[in-house]
Amino acid sequence: MGKRVSLFVTCMVDQLFPKVGMAMADVLERLGYRVDFPEEQTCCGQPAYNSGYHAEARIVARHFLKTFEASEAIVVPSGSCTAMVTHHFKDLFTKEPETLALVHAMEKKVHEFATFLTDVAGVEDVGARMDDVVTFHDGCHALRELGIQSAPRRLLARVKGLELREMVPSEECCGFGGTFAVKFAELSGAMARTKIDAIVGTGANTVVSLDPSCLMQIQGALSRAGLHVRTMHLAEVLASR
Amino acid sequence: MSVEFDRKIHDTLADANLQLAVYTATGRLKDKRIQVTAAGVLPDYQELRTQANAIKKHVIDNLDHYLEEFERNVESHGGKVVYCKDATDVSDFVLDLAKRRGSRLIVKSKSMTTEEVDLNERLAHHGLESVETDLGEYILQLAHERPYHIVAPALHKTRYDVADLFTKELGVARETVPEKLTLIARGVLREKFLKADIGISGANFLIADSGAVAIIENEGNVRLTTSAPKIHIAVAGIEKVIPRAQDLAVFLKLLARSATGQLVSVYTSFLAGPRRAGEVDGPEEFYVVLLDNGRTKLLPDRSKRESLYCIRCGACLNACPVYRKIGGHSFPWVYSGPIGAIITPQFMGVSHEPGLPFASSLCGACGEVCPVKIDIPKILLELRGDVRKSEAREGLNRIEKLAFRIFAWVMTHPRIYEMAGRMAASIAPTGDGKWIRSVPAPMSVGPLKAWLSERDMPPLPPKSFREMWRNR
């Protein structure tokens, strides 16, 4: 029997993109992990934190800490939600040393999906096949807070039949930004259209990312513009055979 | 968010020419910065950033000590340091000096600090002519506009805009070649330099151990401003002090690279006091105005006071996908872009424009390029919290507050969370599995309406992940 991992699928994948969570579980099980899903899980609290409601974010963060206390390793299909736990929880509990100790223990256990594969499982070839031309969108929090750049590209390079074409620039924000997307909708939409120009410029059929939220923004704008480019989470690509 | 902020953002986004001008100009600056900070060109770039941050941290933690040292050393060279609390203090000082010396004409080099205190307007109000001599600033003075960008003030103006402006304001024949436009401005400004009684400059660094002011520039107008008139006044924020001249080895490598992508700026001037016996040039009187204007309010907050490390390079503006869309004039104060978004609420109070810290996707590009490593995204998050606290005190924004209290309650009750999700899925349009362009009118409100104003929404899946997981 392989090692245990817990899924934190994020509220967005749970409610809107369940296939991403299933694909992630598939890939992990194929690599021999025993996957569980702690049923008490909901959200990491980022929407409240980014909107300035720190007390409410703390309540949700405490729930997360309790839910995953017993897990040995937690895998997350989102750079942004991972970074909330590993980089921002500590700022919420600066005045609570006991909770802060729990946070620091949790930071070591929580892994973004792509880097879990490359750095923890030590795998680059997961045996996937997808005949397609794809481009990769760097989610801002994965790239700048977690420093993830090469891991997803190394994984994509080992997918049989797949051609990766880099967009220029790949690192510019898609304009999602959580509640920013609706508080500053017009601005967020303008940023998305700039992103789409870069995507279309590659001639790729598919945009891949580590973050369902970026993909929702990008797919929403692509669809509105009547463009036939699809979006896929990296887990869905790696689950293809 | 104020109606005015919203309207300015909308107007800028709707102006296709402006969008192109700003996106192109910032893109050029952004790319040049990347080239000259690349590992092959500047291998110790990250190390320099760490050092710059450490020096600035040390200065801001010991600001009183270094300001006193700077003052002692300026005065030992025969100069004078004037502490000013606010805008009125600065203009009162200049007006009083001008009155005592019988001065009529002032030449100015580029200074965000004097923009911050509306110095030109205040001087003009008392009959003093104050002429901007940086080409970009001169263009904006003719156009009666504020700087669009910390470093490139007229970044939003095309050569055709400038041609029209010069024809209208200076009565010259229309000329659209940039070099010829520059010569027209130069002709006007040379006369002003020769006749001016006072030169006012900013300052990039106040060097404590040598009592000198360091200013970097490309046009040579700073040299003329600070040496041709009989009186030179340098106006600087108190945070501009650095301990030692040798610290410039760090900052000068970072500033021009971060600002304009140059390895070094065309001119770097060190000004230490008035002309001494035997010297052939330099002013007869030398003053350094040290401005507070809200800066000391930041000092008690150990985290947010790193906002004072800023060396005004403007790199965060060029890197910012928001600035590149909404431009400089959408911002509520003279400082725009990410740095403006963190210092404006702290200098002016969070209610000056409560929407400002929220006008960011928190992408982090600003923090990544900041040469002194200010954690701008983190400070934005803290300021968002400050806005909510201020709203709670004044009883504002109660509905959103309630919504987030409900959010926290739902997210700590997994059964309720699941039920709420399934209820939403049961009433949402399915779109036959396709992305959805619109929803029935009664549902098209609030965040959903805002989302659909720009993008399609995903169809809600028949089963949530947890249902699929249970059934597998």
Residues B169 and B289 in one domain: yes
Mean of pLDDT values over A113-122: 98
Structural domain contains residue B103: yes
Residues B279 and B153 in one domain: yes
> Residue B76 contacts by C-beta under 8 Å, 6 or more apart in sequence?
B211
Structural domain contains residue B9: no
Structural domain contains residue B457: yes
pLDDT tens digits for B300-311?
A: 998 899 999 999
Subunit contact B460:A15, Cβ cutoff 8 A: yes
Residues B239 and B343 in one domain: no
* pLDDT score, position A230: 97
Last residue in a domain, options B293, B315, B344: B293
Whether pLDDT at B412 is above 60: yes
* pLDDT score, position A1: 53
Instruction: Tell me whether A22 touches chain B (CB under 8 Å).
Output: yes
Residue B431 pLDDT level (bands cut at 50, 70, 90): confident
* pLDDT score, position B428: 86
Q: How many CB atoms lie within 10 A of CB B168?
A: 12
3-state secondary structure of A60: helix
Out of A184, A188, A224, the one facing B456 most closely (by C-beta) is: A224
pLDDT tens digits for A126-182?
A: 999 999 999 999 999 999 999 999 999 999 999 999 999 999 988 899 999 999 999
Backbone angles phi, psi at B459, to 5 degrees: -70, 140
Interface-testing mutation among A26, A46, A56, A211, with chain B (most B C-beta atoms within 10 A): A56
Structural domain contains residue B47: no
Instruction: Tell me whether B408 touches chain A (CB under 8 Å).
Output: yes
Residues B98 and B187 in one domain: yes
Whether pLDDT at A41 is above 90: yes
Subunit contact A186:B453, Cβ cutoff 8 A: yes
Subunit contact A189:B453, Cβ cutoff 8 A: yes
- What CATH number does the domain containing B286 carry? 3.40.50.10420
Residues B231 and B113 in one domain: yes
With the CA atoms of A49, A53, A59 and A65 taken in that order, what torsion angle do they form, in degrees rounded to the nearest 10?
A: 10
Residues B355 and B417 in one domain: no
Residues B254 and B196 in one domain: yes
Which of B406, B382, B340, B304 is closest to A50 using CA atoms?
Answer: B382
Out of A15, A42, A180, the one facing B358 most closely (by C-beta) is: A180
Structural domain contains residue B357: yes
Last residue in a domain, options B396, B420, B452: B396
Contacts of residue B465 in chain A, CB cutoff 8 Å? 9, 13-15, 18, 21-22
Whether pLDDT at A209 is above 60: yes
Which of B346, B347, B337, B348 is closest to B312 using CA atoms?
Answer: B337
What whole-number distance in Å separates Cα of residue B73 and Cα of residue A114?
A: 57
Q: What angle do CA B242, B247, B252 make, to 5 degrees?
A: 100
- For the record, the structure tokens of B346 come out as 């702290």
Subunit contact B414:A41, Cβ cutoff 8 A: yes
Mean of pLDDT values over B170-184: 96
Residues B120 and B194 in one domain: yes
With the CA atoms of B67, B240, B99 and B220 taken in that order, what torsion angle do they form, in degrees rounded to the nearest 10?
A: 140
**Helix runs in chain A, H state only:** 10-15, 18-30, 46-50, 54-67, 79-83, 89-92, 97-109, 113-115, 140, 150-157, 180-183, 185-202, 212-224, 234-239
- What CATH number does the domain containing B317 carry? 1.10.1060.10
Residues B410 and B388 in one domain: no
The percentage of residues in chain A with a pLDDT greater than 70, rounded to a whole number, is: 100
Backbone angles phi, psi at A229, to 5 degrees: -110, 135
The percentage of residues in chain B with a pLDDT greater than 70, rounded to a whole number, is: 100
Last residue in a domain, options B293, B326, B345: B293
Residues B228 and B355 in one domain: no
Domains identified in chain A and CATH numbers: 4-119 (3.40.50), 125-239 (3.40.50.11810)
Please give the tally of structural domains in chain B: 3
Instruction: Tell me whether B381 touches chain A (CB under 8 Å).
Output: yes
Instruction: Tell me whether B16 touches chain A (CB under 8 Å).
Output: no
Instruction: Tell me whether A147 touches chain B (CB under 8 Å).
Output: no
For residue B23, what is the nearest residue in chain A, using CA coordinates? A194
Structural domain contains residue B282: yes
Contacts of residue B386 in chain A, CB cutoff 8 Å? 52
Instruction: Tell me whether B8 touches chain A (CB under 8 Å).
Output: no
* pLDDT score, position B433: 81
Task: Share the mean pLDDT of chain A.
Answer: 97
Subunit contact B358:A184, Cβ cutoff 8 A: yes
pLDDT tens digits for B194-232?
A: 999 999 999 999 999 999 999 999 999 999 999 999 999
Instruction: Tell me whether A120 touches chain B (CB under 8 Å).
Output: no
Structural domain contains residue B24: no
A13 vs chain B: nearest CA distance in angstroms?
7
A46 vs chain B: nearest CA distance in angstroms?
11
Out of B355, B384, B405, the one facing A56 most closely (by C-beta) is: B405
Mean of pLDDT values over B224-244: 98
Residues B92 and B209 in one domain: yes
Structural domain contains residue B439: yes
Which structural domain range is residue B245 located in? 62-293
Residues B258 and B336 in one domain: no
pLDDT tens digits for B247-259?
A: 999 999 999 999 9
